[in-house]
Amino acid sequence: MVKVLHIVGARPQFVKLSPLYNCMKKNNFKQKILHTGQHYDQNMSKIFFSKFNIPMPDFNLNINQLNHGAMTGRMIEMIEKVLILEDLDYIIVYGDTNSTLAGSIASKKLRKKIIHVEAGVRNYDKFMPEEINRVLTDRISDLLFCSSLESYNNLVKEGYKKLDCKFHNVGDIMFENIIRADISQSTLKNSNKILFTCHRQKNIEKNSLKNIIEAINELSSKYEIIFPAHPSTKKRLDEFNIRCNFKILNPISHDEILRLIMQSKYVITDSGGIVKEAYWLKKPSLSILKSPVWPELININASINSQPIKQMILESFNNLKKIKSFKEKIFGDGRSSQKMVNIILEDFNNTISHED
């Protein structure tokens, strides 16, 4: 029996965990979940476990509201204590958060095998915390699962074929949630809504956040802005006394996010997950980042990227109406979790045979 520990801590990781956990359950894996507590708002963590049919975590570290160094260091320390006591074959980390990096470092120091779900993502901004996390995690992982051919090719270009690891393009696991979601009746004709989200560290610094909100304020004179605010973003808006000419909502569930995407005419976000979901649901999106997380979407004209500068945001937004087609299967066929399970089982059996 394969024994795994899933390490999660943020909304997108719960979304990715769901299909893999349930597929592993069908294949008789022994699984435990460790929640670092990185997202501490109930609407951003607890509700996701119940919505996605995942059991509550076996371990909850409740580590949050700290600077990056303190948060990551505390997580490494606490995760290590769990790993020492557990008999595990693999540690599974997701995406690019501090929880991902901490779980990887703690695991590698104890010589545990690491699986990285959503490996190979690059936007080549070395000052972006998520980029640091994903590059370092990839470098010490044993099995790397890529969401797209572009991510796979990034690893090839970086010389991963020469390293002691295996990497595979299995498609994007988040697509499985889109396929299963009950959102068929959510589309609105002649919608005047824009779903807007903003949470990246660079985007909630004073100058960037001021530029972004000023652009959205201008759009709010013509569109209804739907803004479920991340707790960190809400805190910064208050701290910098930045005024929104639109209503600020509390964090909402993943199902509600999908419904709002369907009900909106456009999506403006700095979330790598939401920009993919907008693509799958055939909604034009504008990502606000120095460099896009998913350049493949920009390359096929399914999304547009803008730096966090007011005039650039407005000019880029005006080009969204030109987006009319959405090429299929850039991120796989919706069977990522089973592909991952098959590869893990093969790796596990090969390891056992070599030990014998």
Under 8 Å between Cβ of 221 and 319: no
Max alpha carbon distance in the chain (Å)?
Answer: 70
Handedness of CA 231, 232, 233, 237 (dihedral sign): positive
* Active-site residue, from 39, 199, 230, 254: 199
Query: Which residue in the block uniquely carries the two structure tokens 């045979």?
Result: 353
199 catalytic residue (yes or no):
yes
Pairwise CA distance, residues 96 & 12, whole Å: 10
- Helical pair 254-263 and 11-26, crossing angle rounded to 10 deg: 110
Q: Which of 325, 306, 326 is nearest to 316 (CA)?
A: 306
Q: Are 156 and 169 in contact (CB under 8 A)?
A: no
Query: How far out from the chain centre does Cα 235 lie?
Result: 22
Residues 135, 289, 249, 192, CA torsion sign:
negative
Contacts by 341-349, CB closer than 8 A, 24 or more apart: 341/20, 341/23, 341/24, 341/27, 341/29, 343/143, 343/145, 343/166, 343/168, 343/170, 344/2, 344/4, 344/90, 344/115, 344/143, 345/2, 345/27, 347/143, 347/166, 348/2, 348/89, 348/90
In whole angstroms, what is the distance from residue 273 CA to residue 293 CA?
9
Residue 166 backbone dihedrals phi, psi, to 5 degrees:
-130, 140
| CB atoms closer than 10 angstroms to residue 12 | 22
Chain centroid offset of residue 341 CA:
20
CB count within 10 Å of CB 315 equals: 13
User: Could you give the residue numbers annotated as active site?
Assistant: 199
